[in-house]
Structure 1
């Protein structure tokens, strides 16, 4: 996380679909038959500091790959990105970006694709995607998280533009976003376990489109601040590698995000994020390896 700010943000109304605009892509001409090219725009509200939020880039790349795969064969319309493995080569600025998509495999159960996010002629994010079909069947086993309220309590910390968190993380202007004060010990100048909890909900217009809601759930799996902040390590924590899983389409309502770490080392730390929907079902997960901010 960086301390730099973006100050010229436009307000987003409740009837708007700001995340839908992230996923609204224009197909571009291509001279390479096996590469689909798309143009997109990522607005400043989807930034952390001056740079585009990582989960937003993963979800947008997944949207581009989904467009390419589904347009290649009508039988693949039901395919969705169930896994995305992303490497971050650079940090894009908000604005226009391009996506170059290559389909690597088409199968009855599993399809594979690569998506590069490009800005100013440079590939800045490279994502390998696995496609499959989701199921609405109840899981055979799933741990319960009944200790986390379904919606943010009164003392949850919001990401309004003039708040401590909102001045750095601008995503709260494109969606409703709250941080659990009980777990975020760093907010009170204290230290605690490297774990955090959040609540997030898309704008109503974004929630109404099943695909946009699906991509939003993938994005939310990278929404937690670095859990190392609870150990006193503040600053930018560059992601080395991140893998995101989509488990099912989310039910309407609040998403609950639980972030934990297995180890915070001297140079790198891992962070797992689990996303539950309003029905308590696992809808998305992520695991990333990131550099520890130096105190």
Structure 2
């Protein structure tokens, strides 16, 4: 495979399970260290690995429509097993499949997910939305993630997999001046030139720094649950990604994300619940 994302999300059937339309399957995966951020594996990359196994388990329905995942324990680089179940498989044009998946490493549960899959190209193409596309400065006028401090980059190789350009108006936290609004947005592409597709949108939905950075709360914000909605196959080119939060309470915050493609379409949305970073004091 020519692209890192495809190589590192690839799964292989182990032959276990019934393999029927309403049965179970088991897939071997290798969680790659190149997708770590701040010492942990990025949740969007993990969701894409789950998504790849579910795609293999649903022939004729290659695209994630909804994936809702609970992150049960911290995944680590190395071998993993994705067990899948087909709960329901519809027939006919535009039909949907309901599936479940569990990720384990050495018998330790990592992720539990429910999903709906379809062929997005066969779903109705009407769009009615009140959502507003983010207004961003030109790509060259945004702040590239390559400017992150070297010590952070050493522990966050994910930054080398992505070409992320942050809107300067929402990046004051990087110089110690967070806005307090709880918003971060920017341009996103794969560093090796891979074009976006429905599977990579699962990564895009968790690709920006946590919005708690803009609240003056730097640090790791582990995801507890993330629900992704993929609305359409994205057009080639840069993606616009916006993260925002409205509420932090009980040490937890929600993070809402929108992903817009180069044709100006809202192609993916998500909400996740995550733990707020611990205070350094």
After TM superposition, is the score higher than 0.5?
Answer: yes
Mapped to 2, the partners of 1:50 and 1:268 lie a distance apart of 20
Q: CA deviation at 1:217?
A: 1.2
**Counterpart mapping for 1:208-219 below 5 A:** 213-219=197-203
Between Structure 1 and Structure 2, how many residues are aligned? 270
Q: CA deviation at 1:145?
A: 2.2
Q: Which residue of 2 aligns with 1:277?
A: 261
Q: With structure 1 as the length reference, what TM-score do the two structures score?
A: 0.83
**Superimposed CA distance per residue, residues 58-100 of structure 1 (whole angstroms, 9 cap, x where no aligned partner):** 1110110110111xxxxxx145210011101111112222111
- Of 61, 77, 80, 2:63 maps to 80
1:194 to 153, 177, 182: 182
Shift of 1:205: 6.1
Relative distance call for 1:93 and 1:292 in structure 2 (3 A) is same
Give SS of 2:186's match.
strand
CA distance in 1, matches of 2:194, 2:113: 24
Is this contact kept in 1: 2:167–2:185, CA < 8 A?
A: yes
Distance 1:245 1:122, change over 3 A: same
Structure 1 match to 2:125? 137
Deviation at 1:125, TM superposition (A): 0.8
Is 1:201–1:253's contact at 8 Å kept on the other side of the alignment?
A: yes
| C-alpha contact 1:159 1:165 (8 A) present in aligned 2 | no
2:79 corresponding residue in structure 1: 96
Work out whether 1:246 is the aligned partner of 2:230.
Answer: yes
Alignment equivalent of 1:147, drawn from 135, 140, 150:
135
Query: What residue is the counterpart of 1:106 in the other structure?
Result: 89
1:29/1:264 CA distance change after superposition, 3 Å:
same
- Alpha-carbon offset, residue 49 of structure 1: 2.4
Judged with a 3 Å threshold, the aligned counterparts in structure 2 of structure 1 residues 272 and 251 are, in CA distance, closer, same or farther, namely same
Secondary structure of the 1:159 match is helix
Displacement, 1:259? Answer: 0.5
Q: Which of residues 29, 37, 53 is equivalent to 1:40? A: 29
- Quick check: 1:20–1:206 contact (8 Å CA) kept in 2? no
Report what 1:54 is aligned to. 43
Q: Say yes or no: does 1:255 pair with 2:239.
A: yes
Give me the TM-score of the superposition, normalised by structure 2.
Answer: 0.87
